Amino acid sequence: MADSTQHLSSHNIRSTETRVAVLDLFLENKQALSKQDIESNLPGQDRITLYRTLKTFEDKGLIHKVFNSSNKLKYALCSESCGHEEHNDQHIHFECTVCKQTTCIEEVPLPKIELPKDYLVQKLELTVSGLCNNCK
């Protein structure tokens, strides 16, 4: 609990019951979480408040969006280097084809993409699919 409160205040987010509960959930899970995952893990929480919390966390650099192979939106915890409206999540994501869990692979940086000079890269996402350690 104390950890989450501190984590929130270091990102200039006031602690509320919902915010602490959502952050705890991300800290306990190694995988990316969808809105449905979050809702089912936090029964009784108001849905709109949950969505607002996710938006706040994303704006403040606590979590980042992850899209899986079927383009389903999930969220994953950011590294320490992310901040207010600034994300540095330059890593690949791994999606298990069996359990469908999506994980941040922070050790593997995104490859550098060289585009023809008329183009400018603004965003690069890379999801690798395969078998996770539990499903191998």
Helix residue ranges, H only, 42-77:
47-59
CA 128 to chain centre: 16
**Is residue 7 close enough to count as binding Zn ion by CB under 5 A?**
no
By CB under 5 A, is residue 73 in contact with Zn ion? no
Our finding on whether 95 is near Zn ion (CB under 5 A) is: no
Q: Does 38 bind Zn ion (CB under 5 A)?
A: no
Least distance in angstroms from the C-beta of 34 to Zn ion: 14
- To Zn ion, the closest distance from the beta carbon of 61 in angstroms equals 5
By CB under 5 A, residue 76 contacts Zn ion? yes
Q: Are 66 and 74 in contact (CB under 8 A)?
A: yes
The three-point CA angle 125-24-99 to 5° equals: 50
| Residue 21 touching Zn ion (CB under 5 A) | no
